[in-house]
Structure 1
C-alpha cells in the first residue's frame, strides 16, 4: 500500500508544477515540544536548511533544565515520510558550543551556521523545495550521552516559501462575485427578469461556496498546510481583511470600551508563534492538548506581559481555528471580530451609496436626453423599495459571516461593548431573515388560497417581488419555503464553527452530518428554479459534503498513517481548485451574456411555474390586454409604486390586501379553480349574463403557436375549453 500511496502523492504534487521555483531552501520560525516533560523549550527558533551549500542556519532562544552532555538526533519528515535522519555532537561544532555541556537556565544561540555532511540531504525529494505549502517537519531529540536517555524533544514545521495563499486569487474571487451580483441587478433593471434570476442564483451559489471554504479554514482542526493556505483565499468573504487603519480603529475601540488588546503580532521578534497543523506524532498530540494557556486557538489565553510576551513559560504560542485565520491575515486575535464587523458595515454603506448614486446618474442621463425614459423606469419610480430589497439581500449575504463572528465573540469577550454589538447584530439578523421568510410563506399561502398557485402573488406584485424576491426567486414557485432550510443550514454550521473552537473532532462530525442532510434535501426536493440551477447548486453541496469527509480525516479521528493526511491535503486542494475554476467560468459567462446580449432571456427556458406571466412592470403596461391584466390584479392606474394605499403583499384582513383588487375580485369575476373565469354574481345572487366580448376570438394572424393573447377574450378571461391556466402550470396541476 505504501508504494501506491507514495505514487499518488508524487502524481498529485507534480500537478502543482506551475507553482514551482528554482529556490531550494527549507525554513521554520517556530518550535514546539514533542514529548511529555521535555527539558528544553524555545520561545524563538529560526532555521534555514539549504541543501545547495549543505548548511543549516539557526538562531534559538530557549530554556533548558538539562545538565550534561547531549547528542542531537535530527529527523526531517515530508508528508509523513522520513526523508532524513542524522546526528550532531554539539561539542564538535563551534557554532553549538553553547550546548556543550548543557546547563539549566536560559539558552541563547545567536545566528549560526552548521555544516551538514555532503550528500546527507540527498534523500529529500526535489518536490519538497518546489511544491507550495510543504507538509514537512524538522524534529530534534536531545539524548543524554552517558545514559542514552531521551531527555527532550522539539520539532518545527518546515516551509519552502511557496504557498497557494495568493492575494491575486482572493481578488479574482471577490471581483467575480461582485460582477455577478451587479450583472444581476442591471439585468433586472432592464426588464430581463428571467436572466436576472438565473445570474443571481448562480452568484449566490458561488458566494455560498466561497463562504463554505472559509468555514473550513476557521475550524479548530489541524489542517494540512496546503488546505490551510487554500481556505485562506476565501476569508475575505468573512470580512477577515487586513487594512492598517481599520486595525488601529479596532484596537482603539477595544481599549476605550474596557478591553485589553493582544500584542502577538507586535512581539514576533521576541517569541515564536506556531500555526497549528496536523499532529505529527503521539507527543505532538500531548503538547497541543495540554498547553491550554499558551494555545491561542483554545478556550483560554493568558495575557502576555512586556517581560515575557508569550505568557508564563517560554513555549511558543500555538494558534488554531479562527485565531489561526486572523494571525495568517496579520490581524490580532482581539481584533478579528471587530474587523469583520467593520467590513460588513462598510459593505452596507457602499451598497447604499451605490444605489443612490445610480439613481442620480439615471435621472441626470434622462434629463440630458442620453438615456431613454423607459430605461430603468421601475427602478427610478420605486428605487426606495428596491433599496429595501437590496438591504435584505445584504443581510442574507452577510448572515454566515456575522453568525460565526458574533457567536464566537460570546466566547472571546474582547470587551463589553463588542459583546453588546455581537448580541444585537446576530439576533437582529436572525429576526429580520426569519420575519422575511415567514412573510414569503404567508404571501405564498394566500396566493394558493386565491389562485391555486403560489407564484401569482409572489411575482405579480412588483413591490413584493423587489422587497422579498431575494428569498425565493432562485427557487421554483412550489419550493418558496426552501429559504428556511437554507438559513437553518447556515446557522447550524456557523454555530459549530463558533462554539466548538476547542474541539476539531466535534466540528468535523457536525459538518459531515449537516452537509449530508442538506445534500439529501436538495437532491430529493430539487428546489431550484430549473435543471441547470439545480445541477449547479447540487454539485456545490456534493463538493461541500466531500470536503466535510476530508475534514473528518484531518481531525485524525481514525488514527490513520501520517501520509494519508498529506495525500488527502493535496487532493483537497486539487479538486477544490478545479471546481472553483469551473464555477468561476460559468458565472463569468452568464454575467457577460446578461450584460452584453441584446436579448439575454433567449438563453434560458421559461420557468415551468410560469412566473413570467405574472411579473408585470409599470413600464410594460402598454397594450389593452396588459391594462386589463393590471386591473384584474388590482394595480392602480400609475402602478404599484405610485399607490399610497394597501398592496397585495401587505398583511390585512382582505385576501388581496388591496381594496381595488378586492372589489374587482368580488364584483367582476369568480375563479372556478379549473382555469375558467365567469362573471361574478351580482348583489342579488344572480349571475350576470355573459357578455359577447367574453367569447374566445379566432387565432391571431401570424401567431403560429397560439399565443396567450390569442387564447384570451377581449375582456381578459379564458374560454371554458381553453388549456389549463398558466396560473396552475408548474404548481402540480398539469
Structure 2
C-alpha cells in the first residue's frame, strides 16, 4: 500500500500540468449569474485558458469581474478582468440578460503563470477554489458572486489501492476463519484478533466520512473513498441498472443524476424544506424569523458572540434550480458513482454476495470430508484434518456469525437511513428485514455469551472455564470475546453498543453535520478513555495497537468536527487539517498492515511454541482450551518426564504399564492408580479453578468423545449424576 501511494505521488511529477474547474456555484443570495455548464481549463505550459461555459445572466450593462484564487485557504492570485478590454470576452461587453454560451480560449500573461506555485500542479487533490464577483462599472455595485472549485486532475483515490486493501482484509478474515476451524488455541485467537484490525479501522474511516459536514477537504474525501468498500459500497454498472429498475417498479423515483447531465451536482450538503413535513418546515421558518427579529432588536452586543467568517459563507455552496448539493451519505455514494436511491441496495447486495461465497467454500469442504469418509486411504493420509469433521457445522455457524458482525455497521446504518430516505416501499421493507435480522441475531448471541459466562463464574469462580473449555461454545460464540481478556468478556457486547450509538447519529442526523461531528467526537473520546483505563484485550501487544487505533479514530472525529464549521475557524485551518488527516491515516494504515503481517507470520512460524507465547495472556484461558496441539505437547512433556524419572533405577512391570500409557491423553480411559495419583497431585481443595490435567482426566473418566469436550469436576460429579443430567452439556 505504501508503494502504491508513493507511486501515485511520483507519477504526478511526470504528468501534464493542468488546472481545471468544472462547477460554478453561487456564493450569494439572488446572484445575477447562474451556470448550467461550466468547464474552464488552464495549461501553464502554453499559457492557454480555454472556456466552455453556458450562463443564465440577469445582469445588464458594462461590468467587470474581480477574481481571487485561494489555495489551501490562502490567497494566491487576485486579478481584475474587464470584458471590454479582452478579445476573448468581447461578447460580454456590454452584458445583456438571457442565456450566454462561451466557447473560446485566450492567452494568459506570463506574470500570472509565475504567480501560481508549482505544487498547484503536482499535489494530489489540491484544495483550491476561485471566487468571481461581478460589479457594475458605473456604481461598483455587486451583482453576482460565483465560486469555482479548482483541481489539477491528480488524486489519491486509486483503484489499485482499493483492490489491495480489500484483498488484504479479505485474506486476513479468511485466515482468521480457517484458523478458528483448525483449533481454538492461543495462536488462532491471536491471529484472528490481529487480522481483523485493518478491516475494523477501514470501517471506522468510512463511517466518519459519512458525516454531513459543510465541506470535506478534497484530499481527505478522496483518501477515504479508497476504503468505503468496507461498508458495502462497490460500484457495478449492471447493479445500478437493476436497482434503478427495482426502485421504479416498486413505486419509488430513482435518481438519474449519473446518467443525465441536465443538472449539476456538487457533493456537499443542502437544506431542502420541500421534503420535510409541513409542521417541521413551519417550525424552521418560524425559528429563522425569530432569530432575524431578535438580531434586529438588539442595539448593542453585551456578551461574547460567535465570530463571523465571510469567506466561509462564500465557500459553502447553496442549492438552486440549477444545482443539487450532496453531503454526508449522499456525497459518498455519488462520489463512488452510485445513485442516491441505489446506496442501500448496493450495500445489501455486496454483503449478501460475500456470505454466499463463504457458504460455497464450506460446502466444498463438506464435500471433501464426505469424500474422505468413503476412501480409507485418503482418510489415512488426511487424518489430521479428518478429526475436525464433527465440529464443521458449528464452525460454519461461528464464521457466519462473524460475517454478520462485520456487516453490522453497514447494514444497520443504511437500514436506519432508508427510513428517512424512503426510496420505495420495497426498499423500506428490505431495510426493516435486514435491520431486525442482524440486530436480533447478534443480540441473541451476546445474551448467550453473558449467560454462559455468568454460569461459569458461579460454578467455577472464573468465566474462562466454560467460555474456553467447551469447544462448540468457543467455535460458535468466540468471535465476541476471544480477543479480550477473560475478565472483560463483556467488551464484545459493549463494542456493538458503541457502534450502534455512532450509527444512530450518522443515520438520523444527516440534516445537521455539526450535531454529528460533536456527538461522534465525544463518543470516540469516551471510548478512548475507557480502553486506556481498562486495557481489555488479551495481551499487551493487542492492547497497544488497539489503543493507538482508537487514538487515530478520535483524531479523525476531531477533524470532522472542525470540517462541520462548528467553530467558524478560518478556511486555511480546514485545508491544513485535510492534509494532516491524509498523512496520518495513510501512515497508520501502512503501519497497521506491516504489524499484522509480522505478527501473523511470527505466530504461524512459532505455533509449536504457543504455550510459551501464551504467557503474555493475562488470564487463565490456556488452562481450559482443549486443543489437539496443546494435548499433544502436554503428553510429550509428560512422557519425557516419565523417561527421565525411570532412567536411574531398574524397572519391572512398571515399564510395560508405562509403554501402554505412552500417550495417556489419546489412549482411552486411564488406569485407576494413575487417575488417583493425578487426582491427588493436581486437585487443590483451596481453589475451585481446575487445571488442564483435571479437565483431561475428567473427560476420559466419563468416556466422552473429543468432539463433545465435556469435563468432570471433583465433588460435583455425584451431585450432577443425582440430578440425572450434566450441567456442562449445552
Asked whether the two chains share a fold, i.e. TM above 0.5, the reply is yes
2:348 to 324, 341, 345: 341
* Residues 7-86 of structure 1: pairs in structure 2 closer than 5 A: 18=10, 20-22=12-14, 23-86=16-79
CA drift of 1:138 comes to 1.8
Taking the aligned partners of 1:631 and 1:600, their CA distance within structure 2 comes to: 24
Taking the aligned partners of 1:342 and 1:97, their CA distance within structure 2 comes to: 54
Taking the aligned partners of 2:700 and 2:459, their CA distance within structure 1 comes to: 13
1:171 corresponds to 2:163:
yes
Taking the aligned partners of 2:527 and 2:509, their CA distance within structure 1 comes to: 20
Taking the aligned partners of 1:113 and 1:637, their CA distance within structure 2 comes to: 90
TM-score normalized by the length of structure 1? 0.79
CA drift of 1:119 comes to 1.4
Task: After superposition, give the CA deviation of every residue in 1:50-96 in whole Å (9 maximum; x if it has no partner).
Answer: 22222211211221111111112221110011111112222333432
Match of 1:605 in 2: 614
Match of 2:195 in 1: 203
CA contact (8 A) 1:34 1:283 kept: no
TM-score normalized by the length of structure 2? 0.80
CA drift of 1:365 comes to 6.3
Going from structure 1 to structure 2, the CA distance change for 1:681 and 1:44 (only over 3 Å counts) comes to closer
CA drift of 1:610 comes to 2.4
CA contact (8 A) 1:16 1:131 kept: no
Taking the aligned partners of 1:682 and 1:565, their CA distance within structure 2 comes to: 70
CA drift of 1:617 comes to 4.4
CA drift of 1:370 comes to 8.2
CA contact (8 A) 1:183 1:594 kept: no
Match of 1:189 in 2: 181
CA contact (8 A) 1:69 1:145 kept: yes
User: SS state of the match for residue 47, structure 1?
Assistant: strand
CA drift of 1:375 comes to 2.5
Which ranges in structure 1 are unaligned for 5 or more consecutive residues?
1-12, 295-312, 649-660, 672-677, 684-734
* Residues 89-100 of structure 1: pairs in structure 2 closer than 5 A: 89-100=82-93
Going from structure 1 to structure 2, the CA distance change for 1:79 and 1:283 (only over 3 Å counts) comes to closer
Going from structure 1 to structure 2, the CA distance change for 1:131 and 1:243 (only over 3 Å counts) comes to same
CA contact (8 A) 1:326 1:333 kept: yes
Match of 2:263 in 1: 271
Match of 1:670 in 2: 715
Match of 2:295 in 1: none
Taking the aligned partners of 1:370 and 1:634, their CA distance within structure 2 comes to: 25
CA contact (8 A) 2:38 2:52 kept: yes
CA drift of 1:608 comes to 2.9
Task: After superposition, give the CA deviation of every residue in 1:451-474 in whole Å (9 maximum; x if it has no partner).
Answer: 111000111111111111110100
1:632 to 676, 691, 698: 698
Taking the aligned partners of 1:135 and 1:418, their CA distance within structure 2 comes to: 37
User: SS state of the match for residue 29, structure 1?
Assistant: strand
Match of 1:358 in 2: 365
Taking the aligned partners of 2:19 and 2:487, their CA distance within structure 1 comes to: 58
Which ranges in structure 2 are unaligned for 5 or more consecutive residues?
271-307, 632-664, 676-691, 723-730
Where is the helix percentage greater, Structure 1 or Structure 2? Answer: 2
CA drift of 1:100 comes to 2.1
Deviates more, 1:113-122 or 1:463-472: 113-122
2:327 to 320, 325, 345: 320
Going from structure 1 to structure 2, the CA distance change for 1:403 and 1:640 (only over 3 Å counts) comes to farther
Taking the aligned partners of 1:168 and 1:603, their CA distance within structure 2 comes to: 40
Going from structure 1 to structure 2, the CA distance change for 1:392 and 1:600 (only over 3 Å counts) comes to farther
CA drift of 1:587 comes to 1.1
1:375 to 367, 370, 384: 384
Taking the aligned partners of 1:247 and 1:598, their CA distance within structure 2 comes to: 46
Task: After superposition, give the CA deviation of every residue in 1:220-243 in whole Å (9 maximum; x if it has no partner).
Answer: 111111111111111000111101
Going from structure 1 to structure 2, the CA distance change for 1:106 and 1:428 (only over 3 Å counts) comes to same
CA contact (8 A) 1:210 1:237 kept: yes
Going from structure 1 to structure 2, the CA distance change for 1:121 and 1:427 (only over 3 Å counts) comes to same
CA drift of 1:48 comes to 0.8
CA drift of 1:591 comes to 3.2
